[in-house]
Structure 1
Amino acid sequence: MPLPSSDRPLGVAVIGYAFMGKAHSQAWRNARALFDTPAYEQKLLVGRDAEQAAAAAERYGWQESTTNWRDVLTRDDIDVVDICSPGYLHAEMAIAALDAGKHVLVEKPLANTVAEAEAMADAARRAAERGITSMVGFNYRRVPALALARELIAEGRLGSIRSVRSAYLQDWLADAESPMTWRLDKERAGSGALGDIASHLVDQIRFLLQDRIIGVSGRLHTYVTERPEAEAAGAAAGEPARTLPVTVDDAAWATLDLAGGAVASVEVSRMALGRKNSLQIEVFGDLGSLSFDLENLNELQFFDGTLPVRRQGFTRILATEPEHPYLSSWWPQGHVLGWEHSFVHEVADFLACIRYGRTPSPSFEDGLAVQRVLAAVEESAAARSVLVPVDDV
């Protein structure tokens, strides 16, 4: 059954307490206060360092902490497992949790490889036959302005979609002396800017257009090929810090062909000085267009090409009205939301799927489709190929 047979509150565990673990924890702490969710309890926070995990559990509102993620598999009071670990751990953790009968939410990207993503999608299909729900955490689907953009496109306000221009630009790695991190290690991260932030754009293009990506041309580039070791405490006095090789991309570019005939461009970088977290999307149709920038996440720009030319121009829509997606549960009109609210919406939607037995979106199948596109970009970049076909499920 989707809910515990005893009708007790759902027990939730989150694996990870760093950046994403913190974001997901605040969502679990707040979702029930703002949305009509089934009852749940924040049971367990999992982390590698016992002392830090315990401190994070107390701050974030979890009842207990542990350093052994497999504890979530055997505890009867854990019904939901939220995985916020590095990508190389996603497949093992998610498959084990699904096979143990737990509902599973996994932070994006779904996995580090297509093979891992396929195995996870297979496990999700098996689990769904037993009433177990799984979802991948592409949180930007839950930004009200982008959810509104999806509605306007579905209503035909843009007409036939011709092209999409997208970019996700950050600068947190622009300094060549910034220390090495797991996100720059291919074995743990899978890829660099491609998997970290281009995955968001690929998912948004599929989400907004409700279309399949059938071909890819891509390019990857690494600007800084080695970085100082993060922990240099063991170095002798006066000895320079040891450097480690960067094995992922710093930036990526791609052109995507969609089944419906539209063409999309993708540009991502974690070294674009001055851009802090700028996810930009423009969608152009034969009747209108839309423009969005995450650094102004409450705003959607809409151009109505059906108006007389003398009245045409982009209209700023402040997506804070109760009639806009998700907003009826928040503040009076005009009171803006922030980045963290997208995770609250994600948790609320996931719980609704569990309560009503709905198919979640984005599903593991959606995550697999994104992974196939990312792999095609890598293949195209490696081969300097003009076009690589994509099997987008």
Structure 2
Amino acid sequence: MTSQERHTDNSHSGTRPESKTLGVAMIGYAFMGKAHSNAWRNVASYFDVPAFERKVLVGRDAEGVAAAAATYGWAGSETDWRAVLDRDDIDIVDICAPGFMHAEIAIAALNAGKHVLVEKPLANTLGEAQAMTEAAQAARAQGVQSMIGFNYRRIPALALARELIAEGRLGNIRHVRAAYLQDWLADPEAPMTWRLRKDKAGSGALGDIASHAIDQVLFLLADQVIEVSGRTHTFTTHRPGTGLDGGLEEVTVDDAVWATLNLASGAIASVEVSRVATGQKNSLKLEIYGEKGALLFDLESLNELSFLDSTVPVREQGFRRILVNEPEHPYLGAWWPQGHVLGWEHSFTHQIRDFLLAIGSGTEPSPSFEEGLAVQRVLSAVEESSAAKSSIIQLTGPPAGSTTLEGA
């Protein structure tokens, strides 16, 4: 199935591609668990997907996970993810746990023959990501699928942007600017959280939101990063702790990141991310400049794409607003009449749809763990470059199974 077919096959007609009812287990029920639960609850109401049942929600706190399971519509709850992998009625494991748990759970689930969806970034370290990818490759040979959750690929406006670039509407891409800015840590008195501890989160803004920005560069351009230079910085080095003494705890991850990426095509991308950008709540801005035109996108106006065609006479040039809300646009045929906009949460519904269709058809979903590994290599190179005081880090060759125009 091609990228275009996956995006536009929205009808409810025809036979479901999978006759077996798939049992789903989800691990983690906080922020991402809530978003994924909403997608699992709604996907079959709008898209033809293989039949599935939301069997069990997994979390460490028995009372908390039981309450979340009842609220989010899961049939049951469990505190031991290993016990879930032993169940014959579980076919899919959706991992929404913190990054330090990704590798252990994903590898065990794949080895148990379960299809795996894991939230980004793939892992906390490059070594863990490599091990996960090797497990995914071995499992794929046995018909077991895996995918990483870069949900922004499923925003219709960004899917359309990729189509326009692939069609050559921008010509050769020269440079890209990607800025993902938030401010939830702008207050130096904001308390400690697991996301500020390197042993739990792996990194700060780098893994949390730069991973999204870097993946968008690779996704939109269907390209590879060959050189990286970067800098990371922590503005608030200590924050109020969560212990009874109320003392300060050391922040061991970055607050903000700047990076320059040289791509195999010759294009250059600049990436800037921050979780201390005062006044910015969840602002992902993408600018793609080619020899024939340009595209602009802002996550805070996620139904819109700005397009400039520089091949028309200068007197007619200028950015025009495309409201990405027509049935002909990616994913939109299943939803509302024109002009009735979609939200951030729909990207997760589209993600679950594509994952289920891949399982049902026996095809490899995208983004694959190999694609997640490609992003992880860039994240690691940014850290290495920053530690070496702005040296350029060479990335040698794309990983096997990296993003291609047909397969993404």
TM-score range, shorter chain: over 0.9
Matched, 1:325 2:337: no
Q: 1:138 aligns with which of 139, 146, 150?
A: 150
Deviation of 1:71 after TM superposition, in Å, equals: 1.9
Q: 1:171 aligns with which of 179, 183, 190?
A: 183
Q: 1:363 aligns with which of 359, 365, 368?
A: 368
The residue identity in structure 1 corresponding to 2:258 is W
- Structure 2 distance, partners of 1:19, 1:387, is 36
Matched, 1:48 2:60: yes
Matched with 1:124 is 136
SS of aligned partner of 2:81:
coil
Matches within 5 A, 1:342-381: 342-381=347-386
| Deviation digits for residues 262-312 of structure 1 (CA, Å, limit 9, x no counterpart) | 000000000001110000100000000000010000000000001110010
The residue identity in structure 2 corresponding to 1:56 is A
- Structure 2 distance, partners of 1:71, 1:314, is 55
Q: 2:226 aligns with which of 214, 228, 243?
A: 214
| Deviation digits for residues 216-255 of structure 1 (CA, Å, limit 9, x no counterpart) | 000000000010013x5x34xxxxx211100000000000
Matched, 1:12 2:24: yes
- Structure 2 distance, partners of 1:385, 1:194, is 16
Matched with 1:238 is none
The residue identity in structure 1 corresponding to 2:222 is Q
The residue identity in structure 1 corresponding to 2:48 is D
Q: 1:263 aligns with which of 264, 268, 272?
A: 268
- Structure 1 distance, partners of 2:235, 2:285, is 22
Matched with 2:295 is 290
Matched with 1:114 is 126
Matched, 1:310 2:319: no
- Structure 2 distance, partners of 1:258, 1:24, is 32
| Contact 1:43 1:63 survives alignment (8 Å) | yes
The residue identity in structure 2 corresponding to 1:359 is E
- Structure 2 distance, partners of 1:8, 1:208, is 35
Matched with 1:246 is 251
The residue identity in structure 1 corresponding to 2:325 is T
SS of aligned partner of 1:360:
coil
Matched with 1:3 is none
| Contact 2:19 2:50 survives alignment (8 Å) | no
Matched, 1:389 2:394: yes
- Structure 2 distance, partners of 1:272, 1:370, is 23
Matched with 1:94 is 106
Q: 1:156 aligns with which of 168, 173, 178?
A: 168
| Contact 1:45 1:53 survives alignment (8 Å) | yes
The residue identity in structure 2 corresponding to 1:275 is Q
The residue identity in structure 1 corresponding to 2:359 is I
Q: TM-score, normalised by structure 2?
A: 0.92
Matched with 1:103 is 115
SS of aligned partner of 1:273:
coil
- Structure 1 distance, partners of 2:141, 2:294, is 41
Which 5+ residue runs of structure 2 have no aligned equivalent? 1-17, 400-408
Matched with 2:81 is 69
| Deviation digits for residues 75-110 of structure 1 (CA, Å, limit 9, x no counterpart) | 000000000000000000000000000000000000
The residue identity in structure 2 corresponding to 1:90 is H
- Structure 1 distance, partners of 2:297, 2:234, is 27
| Contact 2:39 2:348 survives alignment (8 Å) | yes
Deviation of 1:8 after TM superposition, in Å, equals: 3.4
- Structure 1 distance, partners of 2:321, 2:171, is 19
Percent of pairs with identical residues: 68
| Contact 1:280 1:291 survives alignment (8 Å) | yes
Q: 2:39 aligns with which of 19, 27, 45?
A: 27
| Deviation digits for residues 131-177 of structure 1 (CA, Å, limit 9, x no counterpart) | 00000000000000000000000000000000000100000000000
Matched with 1:340 is 345
Deviation of 1:386 after TM superposition, in Å, equals: 3.1
Q: TM-score, normalised by structure 1?
A: 0.96
- Structure 2 distance, partners of 1:198, 1:385, is 18
| Deviation digits for residues 315-347 of structure 1 (CA, Å, limit 9, x no counterpart) | 100001000000001001111000000000000
- Structure 2 distance, partners of 1:373, 1:285, is 23
- Structure 2 distance, partners of 1:70, 1:7, is 27
Matched with 1:79 is 91
